[in-house]
Each structure stands twice: as structure tokens, then as C-alpha cells.
Structure 1
């Protein structure tokens, strides 16, 4: 059985590597793209008006009444044309010796067009005419005709600005009148009659060649919900059967133990300053480190992915980036034996590894600022994020091991909830926070802002020690004495791997691997959601970032808290099964109501509900994994489960490109709902008590 699991894990580990390489080759093979465009001018106003000398006369027009004409002409508004006509020069002679043969002085007529941050002014003198043509597209792409080295979406994104090019336009005309002045004769000129004609400049764009899938929309293959109904009905019947056999399938077992600790015992150890002595120091350090883990997660999955989607990066490339960013988390369990084996006890068992990891994070993040154009160097950015997340995963493993080392038994549940909440706070900073201000500071500005945050967080473990007598720095003096007991506690690799082998010899522990591998398969929707919200539904990048990185993360935290309380009251496995099925129903309902997607309230409500209920699934699966973990190798075994969950996310991301290329949005939601119900199959046979029960037997023999 163990050999089979090992082979399965090796095969699963090879899947993301193969997917990454394949996706990379595909994205770079865009070839030459031929750009063909048909121009159309849509008249939206013609008028004639007298403009007084020296006065700016503004007015505004809207594209809304011409929506149908714009769509018929190709749908891409790239500019405005303002034509000013002033064929006369009218001056009135004043009293004096004027003969009527004097030459009139020409007036200067100014025309201005403004749209958002774009503005253009042009002027000429009368009599005559001139045009003001304001455009905001990259004309050089149209002039070049044949373009190499750019994707279709990159080209389209520099020509089609979508909703930003629509709406209200501002115009103004000003006449600076001049009049004849001669000896004994002067003229008066108070203004000029000017005719204006305004037109919208619209393109019908066609991109030919390149061999790249257009990322502006997903596929058009539709599968009716009717074909999915047998599966959902079957899962409904299965849930009903499990409820009727609650004791057999361990649905009533409470996954979190309540420790009977009196207040005096709980508050003991507050006199010292080290982590083992001070509860406050433990909470501060662990929570700060989890904030540091949440920031890059929120930045990558929310801010950076949305930025690239807006810049025209294909869905497959977004999945490639997420894959590389998640990969180190999927194999982070490999760090467990290493940090257990190689230690520097004078500075603490875990603290040196944490400081190494944080230093690496800061260096790599700073190096990313040297990349000139991130949207056109997705592969290089992905590699940088891979290295960055190697250090982040190292910090995660070291922090979990530190928590196991320094937390008191009665503190695990409470402090663990603080840690996960802190990670969500970090996600809000990296997602909603940086995502909201990216429009002002740019993508590199968002990266720069992360660096001082990480430096400040690094100060926490830098000035904390794990145990009394340890050094703050390698050159500091230490009062800690090396004893034979200390040396005996150092484990070699053989002892570590023997314990791991025992831990995974139990059936429930092996099923825990399976459950961890399937929990995040529905994550293929993550790279698709920004395409749906931003490109299809017209949300701005800032709106989407603020929602996913702010509101949705807050909802996730609320789901964690609610799920934990319900799990303690009704049984964690029961909440996993009920919530997984409920989430699937919500996701399917989301896909069935495409006609309501343009309603922002509906989208926010259904997205929040889906997130809230799935968070209840996740937090109880975490508790279930803790329950089936042997405390002797708790750090390594639990880290292994978490790594498999991240590997599950990678597999989900790898499903994005093939599924998105074939199916429409509704069908993708149905598929995600089906995958969410698979969690029920993974959890139903796990016995939460097996590990403890079997270990008691082994130790008593």
C-alpha cells in the first residue's frame, strides 16, 4: 500500500512540471499576427454657434445614445474628431477715417477634446477650418500590419480600451479675436461664428494568425445542467445515507479537544521574554510570521493575476504563473526532515531557518524590480515567484514547527485560529490593499511597498529568542550549556523517516493524503474569475481586487470561525460533508443564472455564500488532518497534508487552460461544483480516532 501511494505521489508531482513546460512552449509560439482594421466615423453632433472673444465655451456629449451604431461598426472606440469651420472674418469699423478697404485681422479659433486623462487642443486662424483628432490607441500597431513577438491579447489590449473609451466626452471652443488698428481707423471684433461637427472614431479589428487562443473569452462549448443532475442526485442520496449511518462513518466525532486548563495554568510563564516563557510573545511572533505568508499569497493570486489579465495575458499563462507560485508549497514537506536534522541550537531550533527564509524573500522581491515589463515577461516573473515562494514555504514549515515546539497543549486551537486569521489579514494587504492602490503606484510600486512590510515583520523573530540562554545573533554571548541531553534530542534522518513511515502506515492517514489531493481541484476557476468579472462583466481592476482581496477574504475568515464552532458542536466530518454538498449546489446555481451576472449585488452575494460555506469545509479538513496526525512527527506529517493540498491547487490550475478553451462559463461552474462534491468521497471513510487508537496499542505492546 505504501509503495502504491509513493508511486501515485511521484506521478502527481510530475504533472505540474509537465504542464508548466507545455504551457510555456505554447505561449511563446505566437508567430506573426496580421492586423486588419476598418475605420468608421459615427457623427454624433453638428451645430453652429457664435463664440464671444476670449471665452471658453465648454459642452459635453455621451456615447450612450450611439451604442448600437458603435457595435455595428466594430465596437472599438479609439478616438474623437472635432471639425471646426469658420469661413468668415467679420469686423465692424469704428468711427473715424475708415474707407472699407482695410484688411481685417484674422482671429484664432481653438478647439479642445478631453476624455479622462487624454486631451488635445488645436488652433487655426480664420477664415478657414481645422480638425482636432484625439485618439488613445497604439496607431503604430495598425501601421505595422504584421506584428511578431506579441500575443493577440497584448495587441488588442493596446487598441481596445473597452469601457474606458466610452461614456462622457468634453469639448470646448475659444475664439481669440483680433481687429484692424490703423491711423485714424480701428475695427471692433467681438467674436466669431463657428460651425462644429463631432464624430466618434470606431474600429472593426481583426487579428489573423499567431496560433494563440484569445483570452478575452473562454470557449463556447455548453453542457446542459441536466447532464450533471444524475451526479448531484446521487451525491444527495449518498449524503442522506451517511447521515443515517452517522456512527459508522464517524460523523459525530468532535475534531478539536477541549483542554481543561485553569486560568492560573493558562497564564503561567508570562514572567520571561522568550517564546517558551511568554504567551504574548508566542502569539505576536507566530501571527506576524503568518501575516508575512499571507501578503505574497494575496498579491500573487489577486493583485498580480488581475493585473496580468487586464494587460492581456492569456488564461493559460495566468495558470502557469499560479502553478509556479504554488509549486513550492506542494513539496514543502521536504523541508520538514531538513529543518529537523540541521539546526543551530545556540540561536534556537527554528528561528535561524525563519530568518534565512525571510531574508531570501526580501532579496528576491527586490530583484523583481529589475524586470522591465512584467506583462511581457511572464515566464521570468513566474520563475522569480517560484524562487520567492520556495523561501515563503520554508518560512511556513519553520513557523509550523516553531508552533509545535513552543505552544502549550491547551493553546493549539486558539492560537491556530489567530494564525489563520493573520494569514488572511496578510492576504487582504496583498490583495485588496495593494490591488486597490496599484492604479496609482503601478505594479512595481506595489512590489516596493511589500519590502518594508516584510522588513518590519522580520524584526519580530530577529529580536525574539525561543528559549532562555539562546543567542540573538551568532556573535552574541550565550549562557546556554550544551549537555548530553541536548545532544540526544537531535534526531538523525533514519529516526525521522522511521517515524514518518509509522505515521503513514494507518489507513486514515493514507486517506488523508487522498483527501488533501482532491480538496482544491475546483481551483481551476481562480484564473477564470478575473476574466469573467473584468473582461466580460466590465468590472474595473480595482473593483475586482477590492472584492476578492478584501470582502471575500473577510468572508473566508468568518467561514473559518463559523465552521470551527459548528464542527465542535455537530462533528467536523459532518460539517465537511454537509458544507461540501451545499457549496456545490451554490456553485451550480451560480452557473445556472448567467442572466443575473450583470447584477453586481447577485454576483457579490453568491460569491460570498460560496466562499463562506467552502471555508467551513476547509477549516474542518484542517482539524481532521490534525486529528489523524501522530504528534511525534506532527510538524512533518501535517506539513505533508498541507503540501498535498497545495499540490491539489496546482492540479486545479493545470485544468484551467484545457477546460477554459473548450467550455463556456456556465459549464465551468458546473464542473467546479462536481469537483467540490468529490471531497465527500475523500472524507467519508476516514476514521479520526484511528491514529491515536493504533498508537496506544503499539506503545502498550
Structure 2
């Protein structure tokens, strides 16, 4: 009892304090943004600057996107196995963060990376693997400890800080690559990731839990009640919730919009550098400034808009505007040479991207059943990331056979598709159905005491 009082007074429990939750998850999302900024933007821009073909660059992005596509294989492990005395997902967050630090150090050891793309892909793959690992654990922990009335606001902060992490790592990474060389540049980013390690180490999920395996503490009753103890129960619960109509529709929409994300993210460094004649420094500066603006707007008003107007209305609005934006841009090749037009396009797209991600994440959390939250939430994100990897790989094929105008028009079809199909989602009905599953869960969770 004394130990629990001390921990509560020191303010280490995420479930006890909203500000603590916002700060911790924002920091963890910055850590997610760093590997994405380097692998999906800085390195492709650097490769484009050094004359690599769109097919080679798309292949690199496609390979590093694979671990993000198969997060669904990781999530059930986290729902099934954990060290409950340290929390349901927190031990996995720490493991993923540690893997990110090591993998950033390893990519700096790749010899002659410009002429050794295979080794660069392998090293990038492992950065993505541990980034995806940390992402699954963080999202699962967020669904567990963030109350429903805070989810949209929290996602605004989380996605805003992730965008800032992507932008900052892109600018700093590009500058370091051009100044001190590739190896030192990417390895040095492990320092920032190591600093963020403080948050999952210092804060626990619930009062009374261990901070580390050797410190005092025990599993909380809430964790024991929620934790399932067999694969059969996990997959039975997962099937029960993802087979609902709204879950199926949302998953299809996530895949479609993921294709748009992958195409645009892979296209921009190639399009601006090889088609418009920019340098990788110019691209990183424009990208970072515009995405930081979008990220800040998302942090300030993104979550509020979803709370005020509702998830479905905001999803439809963002997807509709994105469809119009990309379509209009496709029909304006005559003014692509004006930098101001490109600045406006990138700023508009990434602002809408941030707002859309906030709405998508809040919607996904709302559709989740806490008993299998990590696996279910990750399933939605895995579908989006499968779309992202498919879009990245598809760009090389599209650009080889079509002009840029047709590539942009193809991209515009993706948000239009999602905007149409989300109209068939009924969030309220889905929530009521999930709440009725409590009876099922009580029959699956054994009454026996779970060992710490």
C-alpha cells in the first residue's frame, strides 16, 4: 500500500492523469516519426539526388514498408503474452524502442550505401520492423489507457507530434547526410530515440505496477480482467468484432487510402527533384515546413473538429477535399514549374493528411474492443500500411507506363473510394454491439488468478 501511495504521489501512472497521457503518447509518436522521416523521405530524396531511378527508389520504399504491412502478425503476440506486472503493453513499447536504437546504429554500418541498395534495404527493413513494433505496442497501450472522450484530442496531439518528428528528422537528417555523410547522420539519430526511452521507462500504465522487472509492484486487477490467456479466445474475440459490417467497411477504406499515402510519399521526392529540378535540401525544407504547419494545426484543432462535428462527417469532408485537390493538380501541368504552386499543393495535402489521420485513428479506436485492442487496431493500421507499401511499389510501374498527370489522377481515385464506402459505417450501432460483447468476454476470461 505504501509503495502504491508513493507512486501515485510521484505521478507515474498514465491512467490517473490526462496530461501525463498526452505528454507520454506525444513523445512516443515523435519516436515513431523519426524512422519514417529518415527512411520514407530523407533517404529516397538522397537517392533521387544521386540519380537513382524511380523504379529503384520505389523498390527501396516498398521493402521498408513491408514490416508496417505485417504488424498484424505482431499484435496477437502482444495481446496473448506480456509481463502483466509491468502493464499489458508497456514492456513491448520498451522492447520496440530499444530495437529502434540498435537498428539506427546498424544502418550506419552499411558500406557504400549508394551502390549497395540491397544492404540498405535490409537495414531499412529492420528500422521499419522495430518502428512497427513500437507503433503496435504504443497504439495498444493508448486504446487501453485513454478514455473514449479523450481519444480524438489525444490523436490530434499524437499525429501532430508524429508529423513534427517526421519533419524534424527529415531536415536534420538531410543536413547531416550532406554535411557529415550518410553513416554518421543516420547513426546519430539513435541519440534522440534513446532520449525518448525515458517516457516508457519512467511512467507505468496503472498504479501499483512495476516500473522495471526488479522493482516493487504487481499486476493491476484491470489488466488481469482484460487479459486473455489463449490463442483460441483471442482469435474468437477478434473474429467476433472484425466481422461486423462497420469493421469490414472501415478496413477496406483504410487499404484504399493507404495506397494514396504510399503513392504520394514515394512520388514527391522523385517528382520535385527529378522532374522539377529541386535539390534534396530544397525538398526537405519545403516538406518539413509545410508538414510542421499541418502538424501544429492538427494538434490545435484536429481532434476538436472530430469531437465537435463527428467522425463520419470529418472523414467524408477530408477525403472529398483531397480528391478535389489532387484532381485539380493533375490538370495543371502547365504551372507545375512555379514553386509557389508546389508549395501550396504540398502544404494543402499534408495538412489534410494530418487531419485525415486524426479522424481515421479516432474512428479506429472507437471501433475497437479493448479485450483485443492491440490486434484489432493493428489490423486496421496493417491494412492501411499494406496499401501504403502497395502504393509505393506501384509508383514505379505507373510512372514507367504513364505520364505524371495520369499518375495523379489514379491517386485521386483512392480517397474518393474511401469517401464513398465510409458512408455505410454506423459508429453508434457498432459501439452498442461491442458493449454487448462484455457477456462473451466474461465467459472467456477464466476466473483463476493470473500469475504476475
Same fold (TM over 0.5): yes
**Equivalent residue runs for 1:345-356 within 5 Å:** 345-356=84-95
Deviates more, 1:411-420 or 1:637-646: 411-420
**TM-score, normalised on structure 2?**
0.87
The residue number in structure 2 matching 1:175 is none
Q: Tell me, what secondary structure is at the counterpart of 2:374? A: helix
- Contact 1:524 1:652 (8 Å CA) reproduced: yes
Deviation at 1:379, TM superposition (A): 1.6
- Whole-Å separation in 1 of the counterparts to 2:89 and 2:436: 32
Does structure 1 residue 506 correspond to structure 2 residue 244? yes
Deviation at 1:606, TM superposition (A): 2.4
- Whole-Å separation in 2 of the counterparts to 1:488 and 1:696: 14
Deviation at 1:631, TM superposition (A): 3.5
The residue number in structure 2 matching 1:319 is 58
Aligned CA RMSD, in angstroms, stands at: 2.7
- Contact 2:144 2:370 (8 Å CA) reproduced: no
The residue number in structure 2 matching 1:679 is 418
Deviation at 1:280, TM superposition (A): 4.1
Deviation at 1:354, TM superposition (A): 1.8
Residues 374/606 of structure 1: CA separation in 2 closer, same or farther (3 Å cut): same
The residue number in structure 2 matching 1:358 is 97
Does structure 1 residue 287 correspond to structure 2 residue 64? no
- Whole-Å separation in 2 of the counterparts to 1:530 and 1:489: 44
The residue number in structure 2 matching 1:338 is 77
The residue number in structure 2 matching 1:492 is 230
- Whole-Å separation in 1 of the counterparts to 2:346 and 2:215: 55
Q: Identify the match of residue 125 of structure 2 among 383, 386, 393.
A: 386
Does structure 1 residue 438 correspond to structure 2 residue 177? yes
The residue number in structure 2 matching 1:592 is 331
Does structure 1 residue 630 correspond to structure 2 residue 369? yes
Residues 563/288 of structure 1: CA separation in 2 closer, same or farther (3 Å cut): closer
- Whole-Å separation in 2 of the counterparts to 1:278 and 1:477: 22
- Whole-Å separation in 1 of the counterparts to 2:84 and 2:243: 31
- Contact 2:209 2:218 (8 Å CA) reproduced: yes
- Whole-Å separation in 2 of the counterparts to 1:489 and 1:625: 20
Residues 468/562 of structure 1: CA separation in 2 closer, same or farther (3 Å cut): closer
Gaps of 5+ in 2: 1-7, 441-452
- Whole-Å separation in 2 of the counterparts to 1:369 and 1:503: 43
More relative contact order, 1 or 2 (CA 8 Å, 6+ apart): 2
- Contact 1:362 1:455 (8 Å CA) reproduced: yes
Does structure 1 residue 521 correspond to structure 2 residue 259? yes
Indicate the structure (1 or 2) with the bigger Cα radius of gyration. Answer: 1
Deviation at 1:407, TM superposition (A): 3.1
Deviation at 1:564, TM superposition (A): 4.0
Residues 275/616 of structure 1: CA separation in 2 closer, same or farther (3 Å cut): closer
Residues 569/283 of structure 1: CA separation in 2 closer, same or farther (3 Å cut): closer
Does structure 1 residue 396 correspond to structure 2 residue 146? no
Looking at secondary structure, tell me which structure has more strand per residue.
Answer: 1
The residue number in structure 1 matching 2:273 is 534
- Whole-Å separation in 1 of the counterparts to 2:410 and 2:367: 30
- Contact 1:271 1:277 (8 Å CA) reproduced: no
Deviates more, 1:571-580 or 1:440-449: 571-580
Deviation at 1:270, TM superposition (A): 6.4
Does structure 1 residue 646 correspond to structure 2 residue 385? yes
Deviation at 1:568, TM superposition (A): 3.8
Does structure 1 residue 472 correspond to structure 2 residue 229? no
Does structure 1 residue 690 correspond to structure 2 residue 444? no
- Whole-Å separation in 2 of the counterparts to 1:272 and 1:501: 38
Deviation at 1:283, TM superposition (A): 3.1
- Whole-Å separation in 2 of the counterparts to 1:588 and 1:482: 52
Does structure 1 residue 412 correspond to structure 2 residue 159? no
- Whole-Å separation in 2 of the counterparts to 1:303 and 1:528: 13
Residues 676/340 of structure 1: CA separation in 2 closer, same or farther (3 Å cut): closer
Looking at secondary structure, tell me which structure has more helix per residue.
Answer: 2
- Whole-Å separation in 2 of the counterparts to 1:298 and 1:489: 34
Deviates more, 1:405-414 or 1:656-665: 405-414
**Equivalent residue runs for 1:141-180 within 5 Å:** none
Deviation at 1:558, TM superposition (A): 2.2
Gaps of 5+ in 1: 1-268
Q: Tell me, what secondary structure is at the counterpart of 1:694? A: helix
Q: Tell me, what secondary structure is at the counterpart of 2:118? A: helix
Does structure 1 residue 377 correspond to structure 2 residue 120? no
- Whole-Å separation in 2 of the counterparts to 1:579 and 1:347: 39
Residues 481/571 of structure 1: CA separation in 2 closer, same or farther (3 Å cut): closer
Deviation at 1:477, TM superposition (A): 4.2
Deviation at 1:444, TM superposition (A): 1.9
**Count of residues paired in the alignment:** 432
Q: Identify the match of residue 187 of structure 2 among 448, 451, 458.
A: 448
The residue number in structure 2 matching 1:551 is 290
- Contact 1:341 1:493 (8 Å CA) reproduced: yes
Deviation at 1:502, TM superposition (A): 0.8
Q: Tell me, what secondary structure is at the counterpart of 1:526? A: helix
Deviation at 1:450, TM superposition (A): 0.3
- Contact 1:436 1:546 (8 Å CA) reproduced: no
Residues 698/552 of structure 1: CA separation in 2 closer, same or farther (3 Å cut): closer
- Whole-Å separation in 2 of the counterparts to 1:660 and 1:452: 38
Deviation at 1:641, TM superposition (A): 0.5
Q: Identify the match of residue 396 of structure 2 among 651, 654, 657.
A: 657
- Contact 2:152 2:362 (8 Å CA) reproduced: no
Deviation at 1:324, TM superposition (A): 1.9
The residue number in structure 2 matching 1:168 is none
**TM-score, normalised on structure 1?**
0.57
- Whole-Å separation in 1 of the counterparts to 2:265 and 2:219: 52
- Whole-Å separation in 2 of the counterparts to 1:612 and 1:279: 26
The residue number in structure 1 matching 2:450 is none
- Contact 1:271 1:278 (8 Å CA) reproduced: no
Deviation at 1:308, TM superposition (A): 0.8
